[in-house]
Amino acid sequence: MTDTLLLIVDVQNAIADKKPYLFEQVLANIKTLLEHFREMKLPLIFIQHDDGIGSELEVNTHGWQIVKDITPLSGERVIAKRFNSAFRETGLEKELRDKGIKKLFIVGLQTELCIDTTIRVAFEKGFEVIIPELTNTTVDGKYLKAKEIYEHHHHLFNNRFGKIVKLQEVLN
């Protein structure tokens, strides 16, 4: 699995504070997966969204910080981004290619925004994408409830842009 990397996208206080769908379970699952990657000494990268001055995701504010339950350890890579895609203007693709990464486990917030975009871009760039169940979530939208958004996107992701797997399959 040396060609495998865990990508943790935008698990930041501003979004977490809005109480996303099944967030406690999703956070626990992300934490379990993170601990597994750390124990196996597999590479991982945190992605942290910066929405600019005055936004709820302004750099160095409470909202911008990564949720404390999964705080990066000293030496773990954190990449800042300003767009929905973790790839756009971040150098992520080059870094992954330089490390020989071919398979990405993508988890985080929000399902229909940065997770969706990052999954589709990763697929388009030729990476194998794995999405463990209940490791991403979102909040209610204007037209759909968070549960509907989550279920709809997982239906679209599976076997089109990536593979949905049970968390336990990853841990075995």
- CATH classification of the domain holding 161: 3.40.50.850
Nearest in space to 109 (alpha carbons), one of 34, 38, 7: 7
Residue type, 65: Q
Q: How far apart are CA 22 and CA 111, in angstroms?
A: 12
Q: Would you give per-residue pLDDT tens digits along the chain (172 residues)?
A: 689 999 999 999 999 999 999 999 999 999 999 999 999 999 999 999 999 999 999 999 999 999 999 999 999 999 999 999 999 999 999 999 999 999 999 999 999 999 999 999 999 999 999 999 999 999 999 999 999 999 999 999 999 999 999 999 999 8
* CA 51 vs CA 32, 55, 81, 122: distances in Å: 28, 6, 8, 22
> Number of structural domains, the chain?
1
102 touches 5 (CB < 8 A) = no
Residue-number span of the structural domain to which 117 is assigned: 4-171
Q: How far apart are CA 85 and CA 82, in angstroms?
A: 8
150 touches 121 (CB < 8 A) = no
**Length of the chain as a residue count:** 172
Residue-level pLDDT at 2: 80
The burial class, CB within 10 Å (0-12 / 13-18 / 19+), for 71 is: exposed
Q: How far apart are CA 41 and CA 44, in angstroms?
A: 9
170 touches 105 (CB < 8 A) = yes
Residue-level pLDDT at 1: 67
Is this model's pTM higher than 0.75 or not?
yes
